Amino acid sequence: MTVLWEGFLQGLQGVWTVARVVIPLMIILEIAQGNGLLQKLNRLLARPFRAIGLGEEGAFPVVVAMVFGLTFGSGVILNHVREGKVSPEETKVIGTFMALAHALIEDTIIFMSLGAPLLLLILPRVMVAYLMAYLVNRRNQHLSLPEGHHIQGIN
Amino acid sequence: MLEVSREMLAKGTRAGLKTTWELAKVVVPTAMLVAVFKASGLLGSITDFFAPYMGLFGLSGEAAVVLFSGYLVNLYAAAGSIMALSLAPKEIAILAVMLTFAHSLLVELPISRKAGSPLGYVLIVRMGCSLGAGLLLGVILS
C-alpha cells in the first residue's frame, strides 16, 4: 500500500511540474492563434520549405503539426488533399517531416520540465526532419524525371 | 499590437486544464506501476535483461522502462517513469532526444497512415532516427 501511495505522490508531483508550464503555454498559444501569428510563421518559413518542394499550401499542415501536433497537421493535410491543394509528392514530404517533428512546444516542455536542455530537444528533431524531407523530395524529383521524358516521347 | 481578449484567456486556460487532466490520467498510474515494479523486483529483472543494450545509448538498464513507456504509450508515460526512477541528468537528456523522434507509436502511426504515409515507412524512419540519435549521443556524451 505504501508503495502505491509513494508512486501516486510521485505521479502527482510530475503532473504539477508539467501543468504549471502547460497551462500558461496554452494561453499564449491561444493568443498567438487569435492574432494570426500562425500565418505569419508560415510566411516566414516559406523559403526553407520551398527548398524541400513545399509551396505555401503544402507548408501549412507542417506548421500546424509543428505547433499543435500530429493530429491537427493530419487533419489539415486530409482537407488539403480533398481540395486538391497538395500533390501526392508533397504529401510524402509533408508526412515525413510531420512524423518526425510535431507538437514541438508540448513535447519540448514535457522534457524541459524534467531538466533536459531546450536546444537538444528542438534542434536535432527539426534538422533531421528537414533532412529526411529533403531526401524524400529529391527522390520524388528523381522518380518523376524519367516519367516526364516518357510523356514527351509520346507527344 | 497583440490583441488579448477574455475569450482567448478562457479558451487557453481550458485547453491547459484539459491537457493537465489528460496528463494526470497517464502520469499517475504509470508512476504507481513503476513504483510497484521497483518494489516487486520486476524492475530489477527488466533492468538486468536490457542493461547490455541500453549501454549502447549511454543509458543504464532501468532506462529501458522509460523507452518502452514512451514508444508504446506516450511522452507523459515516459515522464511518469522518469519521475519514478533515479536517472542521471545525462540519461534524461539522451532519453528525451530519443523519444522526441519516436513516441506514442500505437496512436501516431495510424494517424500518419491516415495522412497518407505508409505505416512501415513511418515506423522505420522514426525508430531509425530515434535509435541513431541514441547511439550518437551515447558516444558524444559518455
Q: What is the tens place of the pLDDT at every residue in A115-125?
A: 999 999 999 99
Q: Which residue among B15, B38, B111 sits closest to A71, beta carbon to beta carbon?
A: B111
> Is A121 inside any structural domain?
yes
- State yes or no: pLDDT of B121 exceeds 90: yes
When pLDDT is averaged across residues B4-29 and rounded to a whole number, the result is: 87
Tell me how crowded residue A6 is: count the other CB atoms within 10 A of its CB.
17
Q: What is the 3-state secondary structure (H, E, C) of A114-136?
A: CCCCHHHHHHHHHHHHHHHHHHH
Give residue A130's domain range: 22-141
Determine the Cα–Cα distance for residues A92 and B118; give it in Å rounded to an integer.
9
> Is A146 inside any structural domain?
no
When pLDDT is averaged across residues B13-31 and rounded to a whole number, the result is: 85
DSSP codes of every residue in A55-78:
-HHHHHHHHHHHHH-HHHHHHHHH
When pLDDT is averaged across residues A83-108 and rounded to a whole number, the result is: 93
Cell of B140: 558524444
Searching chain B, which residue's CA lies closest to the CA of residue A19? Answer: B20
Is the pLDDT higher at A22 or at A124? A124
Task: Please give, rounded to a whole number of angstroms, the shortest distance from the CA of A55 to a CA of chain B.
Answer: 18
Task: Please give, rounded to a whole number of angstroms, the shortest distance from the CA of B104 to a CA of chain A.
Answer: 11
> Is A2 inside any structural domain?
no
Q: In degrees rounded to 5, what are phi and psi of residue B49?
A: -65, -45
Residues in chain B: 142
CA B15 → CA A4, A68, A130, B10, B104, distances in Å? 30, 12, 29, 9, 20
Searching chain B, which residue's CA lies closest to the CA of residue A87? Answer: B116
> Is A3 inside any structural domain?
no
Cell of A73: 497537421
> Is A105 inside any structural domain?
yes
- State yes or no: pLDDT of A128 exceeds 90: yes
> Is A79 inside any structural domain?
yes
> Is A152 inside any structural domain?
no
Q: Do A11 and B103 touch (CB under 8 A)?
A: no
Q: What is the pLDDT of residue A99?
A: 96
CA A29 → CA A92, A100, A137, B14, distances in Å? 28, 21, 31, 12
Q: What is the pLDDT of residue A52?
A: 95
Instruction: Give contacts of B108 with chain A, Cβ < 8 Å.
Output: 70, 99
Among A122, A127, A77, CA closest to A104: A122
Instruction: Give contacts of B79 with chain A, Cβ < 8 Å.
Output: 14, 18, 110-111, 113-114
- State yes or no: pLDDT of B91 exceeds 70: yes
Among A125, A107, A121, A113, CA closest to B70: A107
- State yes or no: pLDDT of A151 exceeds 50: no
How many structural domains does chain A have? 1
When pLDDT is averaged across residues A67-72 and rounded to a whole number, the result is: 87
> Is A13 inside any structural domain?
no
Q: What is the pLDDT of residue A135?
A: 96
